[in-house]
Amino acid sequence: GENVEQHPSTLSVQEGDSAVIKCTYSDSASNYFPWYKQELGKRPQLIIDIRSNVGEKKDQRIAVTLNKTAKHFSLHITETQPEDSAVYFCAARETSGSRLTFGEGTQLTVNP
């Protein structure tokens, strides 16, 4: 089955700096890669996703890049703000669509 590894487990940045979180996956058949943000005590919520036929996707201050050959994808947050502080999860979904495998999560702290 799919295995997703996520790094780093914790990340601390100054407000206004950029943050990058990286994930690798094992199953070359995976074709959908979402990123979720989970604030303390709340449910995970989708912030951006990318399909395997796309190399990069951007939505305002957040972007995701995908390298299918290397089987890794990354989340980029620019101009970070304190409200970006949360746990971020990457995930990969198999082609069959039945399984979504998550990384272990990254605790991002943005210091004012």
Partner 1 sequence: EAQVTQNPRYLITVTGKKLTVTCSQNMNHEYMSWYRQDPGLGLRQIYYSMNVEVTDKGDVPEGYKVSRKEKRNFPLILESPSPNQTSLYFCASRPAGSFYEQYFGPGTRLTVT
Is 39 a residue that touches partner 1 (CB under 8 A)?
Answer: no
Site membership for partner 1, residue 49 (CB under 8 A): yes
Q: Please state, in angstroms and rounded to a whole number, the distance separating the CA atoms of residues 70 and 84.
A: 28
> How many residues belong to the site for partner 1 (CB under 8 A)?
28
Q: Which residues contact 35 (CB under 8 A, 6 or more apart)?
A: 46, 47, 48, 49, 62, 64, 75, 88, 89, 90, 91
By CB under 8 A, residue 88 contacts partner 1 = no
Q: Interface with partner 1 includes 27 (CB under 8 A)? A: no
Residue numbers at the binding site for partner 1 (CB under 8 A): 1, 6, 9, 31-32, 34, 42-46, 49, 51, 89, 91, 93-105
